[in-house]
Amino acid sequence: MLKGIDPLLDADLLYVLAAMGHGDELALVDSNFPAASIAKRLIRLSGIDLVSAARAILTVFPLDTFVDSPVVRMEVVAAPLEIPEVQQEVFSACEQAEGRSLSMASLPREAFYERARQAFAVVATSEMRPYGCLLLTKGVITG
């Protein structure tokens, strides 16, 4: 255990988050996402819901200020404008962690899968609500 570090952030996840550079993307996904077949690097947070995982990650992970939307969500098939509650909750956690208003973009399911293949890592949670899939773009920490 480390002082001041959320206990959900294990050594493997902390390593991945620290290794990421400015502009790298992290896919934060639900239990239905095909994480094992898509991920370059896969971190499993078994027994952890998406919102808890996001809140823990956001304690050490700055969101990018150089892109229009540092948060990208997977669109609901046949209802692309619908924003599921789980996505709203994660987006709210992002704004709270950053202390600023953010913009959230969206991608159709297959385009989201393709972008997740390019992500630095995929963090697979045990979230059971569908469409709990988002991409977070890492920002910088200034002196």
Q: Is 22 a catalytic residue?
A: yes
Q: Which of left, alpha, beta for 35 (phi over 0: left; psi -120 to 50: alpha)? A: alpha
In angstroms, the CA 111 to CA 114 distance is: 5
Q: What is the DSSP letter of 63?
A: B
Which of 5, 15, 19, 22 is flagged as catalytic?
A: 22
Q: Quick check: helix, strand or coil at residue 54?
A: helix
Catalytic residues: 22
